[in-house]
Homo-oligomer: A and B are copies of this chain.
Amino acid sequence: MKPKLSIIKIGGNIIEEQESLSQFLRLFAQLGGNKVLVHGGGKRATEIGKRIGIESKMVDGRRITDAKSLEVAVMVYAGLVNKNIVAQLQGNNCNSIGLSGADANAIIAVKRPVSTIDFGFVGDVRVVNAESISKLLNAEFVPVFCALTHDGHGQLLNTNADTIASEVAIALSQTYDTTLYYCFEKKGVLRTIAEPDSVIKRINMESYQKLKQQKIIADGMLPKLENCFHALNKHVQRVCIGDLSMLEPKAQLFTTITL
């Protein structure tokens, strides 16, 4: 039987509020078995970028990462956010180690090719180095990934944190019985946005198609769900979506996604 592994991705809202972050990190530290944390950067990068005089550039509603924006992302994601999370986890007796995809050569990406839009220093994941990450897990470290990868030739790249979480989960699911958790501000995938407790407890491929047709799942939830099914199709055992209470030992109200 494969050993168990939990990969947990936390989003912006949890990172931005010191109290919810502390609460999350306490729960994460208590979680048994092998575990990996993946975090986004939240609005800190935009805020600090502005203070340095670097405005986020958007083309057709999509963020462009030029050289200066990448510097800010590296400072905020790999520096400020990652190291504060690691220090707090150590304070909770969780022996964490903060990583970008360059560290331990963990995640190799390619700079997204220029088509109609030049996204700049944005990386699409090519290889997750499961061997390197397993070495760290075997040495009883808890890897904490920020949303940066590298191209293997010295260039750091900005990469979507949801994608990093799913790709790491996919790569490690060969060795581990892997559960992927997407932890955000809502209690799960909601039937009615205005009702925070209207959590759809189970979604599979079939019900997902119906929920899409009925427009119950729409907008920002669509790429998130696509990511989940991609992971499941690539042999990740379970994917769960919910708020931080999902990590509590007796959690019940969250969404479990299966094929």
Q: Does A153 contact B (CB under 8 A)?
A: yes
Q: Which residue of B lies closest to A140 (CB)?
A: B135
Residue contact A152 to B52, C-beta cutoff 8 Å? no
Segment 83-128 of A: residues with Cβ below 8 Å from B: 83-84, 86-88, 90-91, 95-100, 102-105
Asked whether A104 lies within 8 Å of B141 as measured between CB atoms, the reply is yes
How far in angstroms is the closest Cβ of chain B from A39?
A: 14
* Count of chain A residues near B, Cβ 8 A: 42
Contact of A95 with B105 in the complex, beta carbons under 8 Å: yes
Min CB distance, A138 to chain B, in Å?
8
Question: Which 3 A-B pairs have CB atoms at the shortest separation, nearest pair first?
Answer: A79-B79, A91-B154, A75-B75
If over half of A's interface residues share one DSSP class (helix, strand or loop), that class is named, otherwise mixed; here it is helix
Whole-angstrom distance from the CB of A18 to the nearest CB of chain B? 11
Nearest residue (CB) in B for A101 is B87
Interface centre among A75, A77, A79 (most CB of B within 10 A): A79
A187 contacts partner chain B, Cβ-Cβ < 8 Å? no
Contacts of A154 in B (CB 8 A): 87-88, 90-91
Q: Are B74 and A80 in contact (CB under 8 A)?
A: yes
> Which B residues touch A216, using CB under 8 A?
none
Give the complex CA separation of A139 and B80 in angstroms: 27
Q: A91-B153, A135-B139, A139-B139 are in contact. Are A102 and B86 (CB under 8 A)?
A: yes
Give the CA-CA distance A48 to B76 in the complex, in Å.
Answer: 13
> A80: which of B71, B96, B98 is its contact (CB, 8 Å)?
B71
